[in-house]
Amino acid sequence: MRIALLALPLTLGIFPALSQQPPVRPPVPVVSAPHSGRYQMMTATTGDLAASEEKTVFLLDTETGTVWKYHPARAIRDTNGKMVAIPAAFELISVESLP
């Protein structure tokens, strides 16, 4: 008997409790476009073997097509064995053509 009471509203499509409320939609997250603006940061993996692969960061000026390669800050030893700090920098690089 209980199944019959449930089957009748299902076949008729009658659900008064559900039809009185509008469907609830989850909020849509606001995401800024990842590729908007004049300057774009890009990463590339360089190297032939998995052991020697490294990530390289480039800065692209989408208006002029100019590209810079990022060199992170590091420390090296000079000829006297003293540690010398080298600051982070962007190196202007020549690009043959961009697609």
The domain ranges of the chain are 33-99
Q: How confident is the model at residue 74 (pLDDT cuts 50, 70, 90)?
A: very high
Distances (CA, A) of 67 to 12, 34, 50, 75: 65, 18, 26, 25
Rounded mean pLDDT, 26-54: 69
Residue with more model confidence, 94 or 97: 94
Residue with more model confidence, 45 or 74: 74
Q: Do residues 90 and 68 touch, judged by C-beta distance below 8 A?
A: yes
Instruction: Specify the pTM.
Output: 0.52
